[in-house]
Amino acid sequence: MKVNGEQIQLTKATTLEEFLKEQGYNIQRIAIERNDEIVPRENFSDVMLSDSDIIEVVHFMGGGC
């Protein structure tokens, strides 16, 4: 599968939530696009990943003027 343009090999069946936690992402501070569709946060634990998936992880950043 591709994550933010980088090829990653899945070694086991895993959910999106498991993968994100294993990679050290703070689930509360990101948005996920999977195969050109936004995945609602409440569905992260229901989405099973596959080698053909294309995932984009977008981080929310604080700040201002």
Domains by residue range for the chain, with CATH: 2-59 (3.10.20.30)
Q: Answer yes or no: are the C-beta atoms of 56 and 24 closer than 8 Å.
A: no
The list of the chain residues with pLDDT below 50 reads none
Instruction: Please report the pLDDT score of residue 42 as a whole number.
Output: 97
25, burial (CB in 10 Å: exposed 0-12, middle 13-18, buried 19+) = middle
Would you state the pLDDT for residue 36? Answer: 97
- CA angle 2–25–51, rounded 5-degree value: 25
